[in-house]
């Protein structure tokens, strides 16, 4: 077993997979004050994730709740149904929405009226629904992180030459020293997604639960691999391009929960503009140009990592176009058909449109 693990480890860290020809891992050892990213640095993201959870607790409790009250969101206490083992077992194992014939059968079995059984299931379903306050707290936390991450990312990058000239991403690669700002930017982003994974079981249950799991894992793997291959410069650009749109969407959700329709609509329009600029224009014509086209000028032999990293980035661009279609669909509804964003959200919830659920929920 030890031999198998050793062989797999040697294959995984095969130099031709990660770094250019005529370069070895020994060349990327720290020397003369020059520091390079190391895989073991990523171990720190796990304890940092628990720090994120503590920060989240503080924000949700001491910032989100007072802000929600100021916006008029009340903490509604839902009425619990009367304890009934038969109905509870049926609710958990069979269906949460029994048909009329099933309700009549359960009523006879429990010696209840049909009306009482219907009311029991209605109250039991309501217990599973998150309150507006809970949704607001989660959106407030994500808004806080994405806003802080966007501001920090701009501060870290505004004076860097590769922020303005994408060619600079590959100048001197792979012998590019790791900056402390890059270290903390990566640690914050990866630990944030770890914290989201840790709380998926307790957060608001969503229809796209597995999509969230896959998304968070893919984000962690992609960032971790870019770290190990010292693709840190391009990695930070990818992160800031994505974060700058997300906090606008989370703020729109917050005001949607508070039923501030006009404010919500304005914020969603701003989100849409930023989304199309960053993910439909900048990402393909700036980021992908820098990862697909420019490396050929610095190396005649492409390493395997070139294909490994560009594959997910191209898939990500496909998702951007997919989501962009639905953003346009929402904009069309309330710009030309005079349907507010909040009203559109309610309609999507009623019709269970899972494609738009990620955007509105």
Q: Residue 255 CB: number of other CB atoms within 10 A?
A: 22
CA proximity to 140, closest of 58, 244, 250, 264: 250
Residue 342: what pLDDT? 53
Torsions phi, psi of 338, nearest 5?
Answer: 60, 35
Residue 187: what pLDDT? 96
At 300, list the tokens.
């005649």
Against a cut of 0.75, is the pTM above it? yes
Residue 357: what pLDDT? 38
CA proximity to 217, closest of 203, 202, 243, 197: 197
CA angle, 227 then 195 then 148, to 5°:
75
Alpha helices in 13-166 (DSSP H): 15-18, 45-59, 65-70, 85-93, 100-110, 114-128, 132-157
Q: Cα–Cα distance between 27 and 260 in angstroms, integer?
A: 57
Dihedral sign of CA atoms 159, 161, 166, 169 in order: negative
- Range(s) of the chain covered by CATH 1.10.10.60: 85-128
Non-local (6+) Cβ contacts of 257 within 8 A are 68, 73, 132, 135, 136, 139
Tens place of pLDDT per residue across the chain (361 aa): 666 667 776 777 777 777 777 787 777 888 788 899 998 999 999 999 999 999 999 999 999 999 999 998 887 777 788 887 878 888 887 778 888 888 888 888 888 888 888 888 888 888 777 788 888 999 999 999 999 999 999 999 999 999 999 999 988 888 889 999 999 999 999 999 999 988 887 777 666 667 677 778 888 988 998 998 889 999 999 999 999 999 999 999 999 899 888 888 889 889 999 999 999 999 999 999 988 888 877 765 667 777 888 888 888 888 889 888 888 888 877 666 655 555 555 444 333 333 443 444 4
Residue 4: what pLDDT? 67
85-128: CATH topology: Arc Repressor Mutant, subunit A (1.10.10)
User: Which residue's entry shows tokens 């966007």?
Assistant: 150
At 248, list the tokens.
């606008």
């Amino acid at each position: 077993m030890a031999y198998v693990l050793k062989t797999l480890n040697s294959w995984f860290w095969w130099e031709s997979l990660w770094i250019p020809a005529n370069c070895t891992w020994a060349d990327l050892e720290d020397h003369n004050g020059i520091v390079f990213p190391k895989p073991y640095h990523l171990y720190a993201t796990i304890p940092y994730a628990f720090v994120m959870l503590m920060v989240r607790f503080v924000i949700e409790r001491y910032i989100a709740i007072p802000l929600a009250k100021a916006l008029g969101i009340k903490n509604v206490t839902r009425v619990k149904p009367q304890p009934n083992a038969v109905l509870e077992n049926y609710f958990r194992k069979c269906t949460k929405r029994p048909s009329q014939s099933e309700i009549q059968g359960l009523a006879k079995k429990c010696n209840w009226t049909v009306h009482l059984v219907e009311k029991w299931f209605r109250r039991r379903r309501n217990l599973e629904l998150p309150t507006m306050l809970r949704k607001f707290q989660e959106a407030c936390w994500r808004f806080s992180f994405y806003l802080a991450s966007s501001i920090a990312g701009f501060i870290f990058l505004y004076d860097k030459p590769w922020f303005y000239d994408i060619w600079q991403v590959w100048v001197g690669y792979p012998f590019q020293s790791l900056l402390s700002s890059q270290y903390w930017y990566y640690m914050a982003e990866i630990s944030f997604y770890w914290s989201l994974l840790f709380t998926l079981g307790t957060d608001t249950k969503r229809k796209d639960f597995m999509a969230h799991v896959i998304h968070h894992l893919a984000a962690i793997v992609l960032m971790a691999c870019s770290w190990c291959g010292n693709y840190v410069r391009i990695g930070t650009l990818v992160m800031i391009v994505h974060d700058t749109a997300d906090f606008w969407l989370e703020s729109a959700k917050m005001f949607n929960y508070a039923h501030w329709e006009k404010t919500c609509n304005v914020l969603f329009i701003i989100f849409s503009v930023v989304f199309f600029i960053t993910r439909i224009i900048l990402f393909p014509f700036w980021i992908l140009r820098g990862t697909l086209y420019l490396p050929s000028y610095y190396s005649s032999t492409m390493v395997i990592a070139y294909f490994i990293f560009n594959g997910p980035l191209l898939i990500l661009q496909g998702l951007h176009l997919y989501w962009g279609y639905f953003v346009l669909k929402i904009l069309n509804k309330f710009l030309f058909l005079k349907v507010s964003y909040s009203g559109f959200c309610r309609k999507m919830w009623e019709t269970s449109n899972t494609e738009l659920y990620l955007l509105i929920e």
